[in-house]
Structure 1
């Protein structure tokens, strides 16, 4: 009976792997090919540097409204999550983002609320984008392939505007706020159909429903994970290293089956860990904690919650800033000026004079993030390490790290120039860094230090994965035709 049961289970193992693998190998092949494309072309988005580069110089002489008056005009009951002053074409405006995500735009000239912009004004905003030539309206979109995610919901509908530049750039300008929220280039639009869209299963009709999309990813990657496990199991059962098959072969198969078997033995572990980490990307069961600090943490860090900042915006007209952001740090107000190149500087909001922040001042405010536990780490990182590094994007450097002796062993990363809380990391998130980022994107410190090495390793493993996948597709197709 045990031997008969073993034969039966093994037979169903082979049958299950064969039939489920016919479909899943198509997904495996698609993921490996699209993953290589994603190494070099990211999904379209507007970076902070691009956003600031598209803003006009601040016309300080037109600012008639103080930040306090702007918050009063917006009906703010507490200090907003984000408060900044910038130009809407030729008009200075305050942009407020509440803790509930609600956005409001208040004119800094006369205090009237702006809840919509015309197409002509959107075109005027687009003309400030670097390299803009003969801007032209394409259409107004509620949601399309590039603006599919929920992050754009507060700005919809969006004007889609062509810049008619060499890169084929298209801008998405909010019809509600007049902000440029997204840019895409012709290269991004073409290559993402071979990269991020198939890799993330990102068609608009599916991705617009985040809950449904998440379930599809969970189940699809989960099934593929089972196929990978069964494939490794079968590969081990069928290989012979001592009592070899005829001709001294380690595999009983020939042709495409032999390629599938032998390559699978070498690449099987990679395929398995890659699928497992991909399954973790959507955080099944909410096992891993969130990245950001809570509202209560940020309010304690600011040391102020009333809708006041006591600023008179006393900045000299010679200042080349394109944006002023108003914050509180440790109970004291600050104005953070940003120029078109992305550099920021802390300024006293009452006098307009530079007020560089000290590490001690930032760490003193950081103690309030978790006031009931001891701060056990105060570090300044001048180089990237395993938990704060740049790969496809950029990250602030140097950066401050404040560590706490709470149950989760929390770390907070802080910008030494602006005092911004850049993110929170705890034991859970640091585990996720290795289980997802390391296993899925091969973000290992040594490989990232020598970038060509990272490319070579990922290309080689992806090639092995493609051989396993394509051979599985060929085998499955032949089996289907034969059946």
Structure 2
């Protein structure tokens, strides 16, 4: 009876892997090939450097309202998560983001709330972009393939403006606030149809429903993970190393089936870990903690929560600044001036005198981040390590790391220049770093330090995975024809 049950179970194992694998091998092949494209072409976004590069200089003489006036006009009851001064076309504007995510734009000329901008104003915003040639408005977009995610909801609808440059750059400008929300170019748009869109199963019609998209991808990747496990199981069952098949072969198969068997065993561990980490990227069960820094953490660090910082701006401020951010640090106000190339300089918001943040002052403020925990270790990172590194995005160096003994062993990273908290990670985040970034993107420090070693390894493994997948597609197609 046991032998009969084993034979039946093995038969269903083969049948299940064969027929479900016909569809899933198409997905596997698509994922491996699109993953190589994603190594070099990211999904369109707007980096902080790109955003600053498109802003005009602040004309300080036109700023009539103080930051306190702007917060009063916005009706905020506590100091906002983000408060900054920049220029909308030719008008200075305060932009506020509250702790509930609500955004507001207040004119720094007369204090009126900006809730809508015209097409001509949007073109004026685009006119300061460094790639500008012959700008023209092509559409008003509520949602398309490149702005499909919920992060753009507070800015919709968006003016779509073509800049007329050789790269085919297109800007998305918010019709609500006049902010540049996104830029894309021709290369990104073309290659992402072969990269991120198929890889993430990202068509607009599905992705605009965030919870449904997440559920669909979880189930699809979960089924593919099971198929991968059964494939390795079958591969081991059919492998003979000692008592070989006729002709001294280790596999009973020939042709495409032999390729599928042998390469599946060679690349099996990579395929499984890659599939598992990809499935894990969707955070099933919401196991991994979020990475945002909450207001109750920031308030002790800022040392101030009331909606005030400066009743007036200094009469003399440096030219060439495109943005000014207003923050509190350990009970002291600061205005952080930013240039078009991303250089930042903290100054006193009352006098305009430069502020140099000392390490002692920053560590004193950092110790207050978690009042119920103790700051156990403080590090100054002069170079990247396993948890603070640059791969697909730039990261500041040097950076300070504050380590706490709270229940989840939280680490904070913050800038020694501005005091900004630039990262927060706890035990679950560090676990996720190894289960996703390491297994899925092969973000191992040794490889990343010796590019193109990382490129060679990832491409070779992707080729092996593609061979396994394509051979499975061929085998499945032959079964279907029969």
- TM-score tier, shorter chain, comes to over 0.9
Query: Partners in 1 of 2:199 and 2:348 — Cα distance?
Result: 47
Instruction: Tell me the SS of whatever aligns to 2:393.
Output: coil
- CA offset digits 1:32-75 (Å, max 9, x no partner): 00000000000000110000000001100001100000000111
Query: Partners in 1 of 2:117 and 2:216 — Cα distance?
Result: 37
Contact 1:95 1:105 in 2 (8 A): yes
Offset at residue 407 of structure 1 (A):
1.4
Instruction: Kindly indicate whether residue 235 of structure 2 is the aligned counterpart of residue 238 of structure 1.
Output: no
Query: Partners in 2 of 1:313 and 1:206 — Cα distance?
Result: 48
Query: Partners in 2 of 1:266 and 1:284 — Cα distance?
Result: 29
Contact 1:414 1:422 in 2 (8 A): yes
Query: Partners in 1 of 2:387 and 2:334 — Cα distance?
Result: 29
Query: Partners in 2 of 1:318 and 1:309 — Cα distance?
Result: 20
Q: Which moved more, 1:307-316 or 1:453-462?
A: 307-316
Query: Partners in 2 of 1:238 and 1:313 — Cα distance?
Result: 77
Match of 1:54 in 2: 54
Query: Partners in 2 of 1:441 and 1:476 — Cα distance?
Result: 29
Identify if the C-alpha distance between structure 1 residues 456 and 247 changes in structure 2 by more than 3 Å, giving closer, same or farther.
same
Structure 2 unaligned blocks of 5 or more: none
Instruction: Tell me the SS of whatever aligns to 2:321.
Output: coil
Offset at residue 317 of structure 1 (A):
4.8
- CA offset digits 1:288-334 (Å, max 9, x no partner): 11112222001121111110002522163543210000001111111
Which runs of structure 2 are paired with 1:128-147 in the superposition (5 Å)?
A: 128-147=128-147
Which runs of structure 2 are paired with 1:358-397 in the superposition (5 Å)?
A: 358-397=358-397
- CA offset digits 1:96-129 (Å, max 9, x no partner): 1111111111111111111100000000100100
Structure 1 unaligned blocks of 5 or more: none
Match of 1:208 in 2: 208
Query: Partners in 2 of 1:315 and 1:162 — Cα distance?
Result: 38
Q: Which moved more, 1:406-415 or 1:255-264?
A: 406-415
Instruction: Kindly indicate whether residue 328 of structure 2 is the aligned counterpart of residue 328 of structure 1.
Output: yes
Q: Which moved more, 1:413-422 or 1:193-202?
A: 413-422
Query: Partners in 1 of 2:448 and 2:35 — Cα distance?
Result: 17
Query: Partners in 2 of 1:316 and 1:430 — Cα distance?
Result: 46
Identify if the C-alpha distance between structure 1 residues 250 and 335 changes in structure 2 by more than 3 Å, giving closer, same or farther.
same
Runs of 4 or more, structure 1, over 6 Å off, are: none
Match of 2:293 in 1: 293
Which runs of structure 2 are paired with 1:58-69 in the superposition (5 Å)?
A: 58-69=58-69
Which runs of structure 2 are paired with 1:393-472 in the superposition (5 Å)?
A: 393-472=393-472
Match of 2:153 in 1: 153
Match of 1:221 in 2: 221
Query: Partners in 2 of 1:344 and 1:306 — Cα distance?
Result: 25
Query: TM (normalized to structure 1)?
Result: 0.99
Query: TM (normalized to structure 2)?
Result: 0.99
Aligned length: 482
Match of 1:196 in 2: 196
- CA offset digits 1:237-281 (Å, max 9, x no partner): 000000000000000000000000000010011000000000000
Identify if the C-alpha distance between structure 1 residues 315 and 461 changes in structure 2 by more than 3 Å, giving closer, same or farther.
farther
Contact 2:359 2:416 in 1 (8 A): yes
- CA offset digits 1:388-445 (Å, max 9, x no partner): 0000110011100000011111100111111111121111100100000000000000
Query: Partners in 2 of 1:225 and 1:23 — Cα distance?
Result: 13
Offset at residue 367 of structure 1 (A):
1.1
- CA offset digits 1:436-469 (Å, max 9, x no partner): 0000000000000011000000000000000000
Identify if the C-alpha distance between structure 1 residues 315 and 190 changes in structure 2 by more than 3 Å, giving closer, same or farther.
farther
Offset at residue 368 of structure 1 (A):
1.4
Query: Partners in 2 of 1:347 and 1:226 — Cα distance?
Result: 57
Instruction: Tell me the SS of whatever aligns to 2:319.
Output: coil
Query: Partners in 2 of 1:377 and 1:234 — Cα distance?
Result: 50
Query: Partners in 1 of 2:318 and 2:153 — Cα distance?
Result: 37
Contact 2:69 2:311 in 1 (8 A): no
Query: Partners in 1 of 2:184 and 2:401 — Cα distance?
Result: 34
Instruction: Tell me the SS of whatever aligns to 1:164.
Output: coil
Contact 1:277 1:436 in 2 (8 A): yes
Identify if the C-alpha distance between structure 1 residues 241 and 311 changes in structure 2 by more than 3 Å, giving closer, same or farther.
farther
Query: Partners in 2 of 1:311 and 1:266 — Cα distance?
Result: 68
Query: Partners in 2 of 1:24 and 1:209 — Cα distance?
Result: 23
Identify if the C-alpha distance between structure 1 residues 193 and 115 changes in structure 2 by more than 3 Å, giving closer, same or farther.
same
Contact 1:311 1:349 in 2 (8 A): no
Which runs of structure 2 are paired with 1:37-186 in the superposition (5 Å)?
A: 37-186=37-186
Match of 2:338 in 1: 338
Query: Partners in 1 of 2:167 and 2:111 — Cα distance?
Result: 38
Contact 2:317 2:352 in 1 (8 A): no
Query: Partners in 1 of 2:318 and 2:99 — Cα distance?
Result: 34
- CA offset digits 1:182-219 (Å, max 9, x no partner): 00000000000000000000000111111001101110
Query: Partners in 2 of 1:3 and 1:215 — Cα distance?
Result: 39
Instruction: Tell me the SS of whatever aligns to 2:452.
Output: helix
Query: Partners in 1 of 2:295 and 2:12 — Cα distance?
Result: 53
Contact 2:131 2:169 in 1 (8 A): no
